[in-house]
């Protein structure tokens, strides 16, 4: 399979940002059989979580960024933060020159 060029990476980012986190994660895992999750829900700031996938067969690195939703609701005496996918960053790996 060939590496993704800039247009294909942009299209992938636009496609993923419309999905829920779990659907986007599943889509990425099916795209490349040699995928590797670099980190899972890493807290880069108090309000965002980052998950990164390396897709070596496609020469692409994808970062899913989740942000806190508006609906932090109080349930049964505890607060539960609801995160939703707010941004997708798709970039080329070092050996992808397209």
For the domain that residue 44 is a member of, what is the CATH number?
Answer: 3.10.450
Question: Structural domain tally of the chain?
Answer: 1
Which structural domain, as residue segments, surrounds residue 12? 6-69+77-92
**Does residue 11 fall inside a structural domain?**
yes
- Given this model, what pLDDT does residue 54 score? 96
10 is a domain residue: yes
Please tell me the pTM assigned to this model.
0.86
Residue 50 within any structural domain of the chain:
yes
Residue 97 lies in a domain: no
pLDDT value, residue 46: 84
d(CA 27, CA 59): 16
pLDDT in tens, the chain (98 residues): 589 999 999 999 999 999 999 999 999 999 999 999 999 999 988 889 999 999 999 999 999 999 986 655 555 556 667 889 999 999 999 888 87
- Residue 59 in domain: yes
1 is a domain residue? no
């Amino acid at each position: 399979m060939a590496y993704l060029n800039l247009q294909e990476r942009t299209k992938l980012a636009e496609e993923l940002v419309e999905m829920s986190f779990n659907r986007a994660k599943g889509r990425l895992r099916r795209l490349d059989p040699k995928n590797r999750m670099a980190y899972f829900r890493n807290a880069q700031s108090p309000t965002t979580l980052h998950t990164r996938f390396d897709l070596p067969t496609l020469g692409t690195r994808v970062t899913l960024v989740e942000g806190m939703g508006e609906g932090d609701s109080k349930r049964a005496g505890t607060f539960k933060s609801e995160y939703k996918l707010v941004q997708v960053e798709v970039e080329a790996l070092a050996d992808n020159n397209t």
